[in-house]
Amino acid sequence: MGWAIALHGGAGDIPLSLPVERRLPREETLRRCLTLGIAALKDNHPPLDVVELVVCELENCPHFNAGRGSVLTTIGTVEMEASIMEGNTKNCGAVSGLSTVVNPISLARLVMEKTPHIYLAFDGAETFAREQGVITKDASHFITPETIERLTQAKAVNRVQIDYTQPAVEELSENCDSQIGTVGCVAVDGNGNLAAATSTGGLVNKMVGRIGDTPIIGAGTYANSFCAVSATGKGEAIVRATTGRDVAALMEYKGLSLKDATDYVVENAPKGTTGLVAVSANGEVAMPFNTTGMFRACAKEDGTSEIAIWSSVQNVDELLR
């Protein structure tokens, strides 16, 4: 037993040659968010507050594909989505199709706490945001030079593309889904209370109205009394696999450890599609992925911690040495 926290900034085909100017700001944000989450857990904040706090911070960072850094739809608009879940109560909330809400994860929590529903989307979600008085900004706030560039690149090769690679157009094939990005956080306190939160802008050049795994409870986000899971990767694959719920079900019905359950789910997902962070009620952490890399960080009460992008032999700290 003991508290634990894990967070991610997206999984995908993150090239080992990722330029240092793209890698360092993300790594620094992961470190800052991890420190923030650890402090909140040590201060006995409930895990639900901790995951919301950390994901808000990640949403405010333009280097990740969520909130301010959300990628663009095929017509150059932003449609953000998020969900949050508490393990013991199984209370949850989700939002999609947001174009003006600064912190979609907080609106998802308000859906959970202030409505009789679980999931609001598009106009209804925007109207609810105004009723609740959450911070909103003109849609142009979310459209950055970087996200415009990514949309231009995706359109040049006519594909629905994900975050992170440096597309040399001539190197990209029509079928190569190389980039993925999203943010998420899971946390457990010393009493085994669990929570999960995930937020994203989705896929670059996605169709208007497309909904991915992130706001789908049981796919991109899930928590019960056994574990909390936040997934990232190719949303369509994660929805088909019900990734988050599968991890919990393997633990609950088959008695698997968190490590075995998460390894099983990720190994059985189509290669290059899935990554996740998860914590169990007794303070274990797992962060497997079957993509080239996943921006991730974790810490446990016993003092162990990690910040990494690629597999353990190529992690950020080693690269920095």
- Binding-site sequence positions for substrate: 210-213, 232-235
Residue 320 CB, nearest distance to ligand ASP (Å)? Answer: 25
204 has which bridge partners? 161
Q: Please identify, using beta-carbon distances, which residue of 81 and 189 lies nearer to ligand ASP.
A: 81
Pick the piece of the chain touching ligand ASP (CB under 6 A) from 18-26, 140-148, 185-193, 231-239: 231-239
Q: Tell me whether residue 94 or residue 238 sits nearer to ligand ASP (CB atom).
A: 238
Interface with ligand ASP includes 274 (CB under 6 A)?
A: no
What residues numbered 167-186 form the site for ligand ASP, per CB under 6 A?
Answer: 180-182
Query: Do 63 and 183 touch, CB atoms closer than 8 A?
Result: no
Q: Does 153 participate in binding ligand ASP (rule CB under 6 A)?
A: no
Question: Is residue 233 a contact residue for ligand ASP (CB under 6 A)?
Answer: yes
Do β-strands 4-12 and 221-223 pair in parallel, antiparallel, or remain unpaired?
unpaired
Q: Does 293 bind ligand ASP (CB under 6 A)?
A: no
Rounded to whole angstroms, the Cα distance separating 253 from 271 reads 26
Q: Are strands 80-86 and 194-200 parallel, antiparallel or unpaired?
A: antiparallel
Q: Is residue 182 flagged as an active site residue? A: yes
Q: DSSP label at 25?
A: H
Q: What is the DSSP string of 262-310?
A: HHHHHHTSPTTSEEEEEEETTS-EE--BSSSEEEEEEEETTS-EEEESS
207-226 positions binding ligand ASP, by CB under 6 A: 212-214
Report 91-150 residues binding ligand ASP (CB under 6 A). Answer: none
Which residues are annotated binding-site positions? Answer: 210-213, 232-235
In angstroms and rounded to an integer, the radius of gyration of the C-alpha atoms of the chain is 18
Q: Does 9 bind ligand ASP (CB under 6 A)?
A: no
Least separation in angstroms between CB 10 and ligand ASP: 5
Q: Does an H or E element contain 189, and which? A: none
When binding is defined by CB under 6 A, the residue of 235, 283, 288, 293 that contacts ligand ASP is 235
The DSSP symbol for 131 reads H
Full DSSP string of 70-114:
---BTTS---EEEEEEETTT--EEEEEEESSBS-HHHHHHHHHHH
Give the shortest CB-36-to-ligand ASP separation in angstroms: 22
Find the angle CA(239)-CA(37)-CA(107) to the nearest 5 degrees.
Answer: 50
Active-site option among 147, 182, 214, 262? 182
Q: Assess 65 for contact with ligand ASP (CB under 6 A).
A: yes
Q: How far is the CB of 140 from ligand ASP (least distance, A)?
A: 22
Counting contacts by CB under 6 A, is residue 202 touching ligand ASP?
A: yes
Residue nearest to ligand ASP (CB): 235
Question: Distance between CA atoms of 144 and 253, rounded to whole angstroms?
Answer: 45
Q: Tell me the CB-side half-sphere exposure of residue 29, using CA atoms within 13 A.
A: 26
CB 69 to ligand ASP: min, Å: 11
- C-beta closer to ligand ASP: residue 10 or 272: 10
Alpha carbons 137 and 170: distance in angstroms, whole number:
37
Question: Are the beta carbons of 220 and 212 closer than 8 angstroms?
Answer: yes
Among residues 93 and 235, whose Cβ is nearest to ligand ASP?
235
Chosen residue from 10, 62, 167, 244 binding ligand ASP by CB under 6 A: 10
Residues at the interface with ligand ASP (CB under 6 A): 10, 65, 162, 180-182, 200, 202-203, 212-214, 232-235, 238
As annotated, the active-site residues are: 182
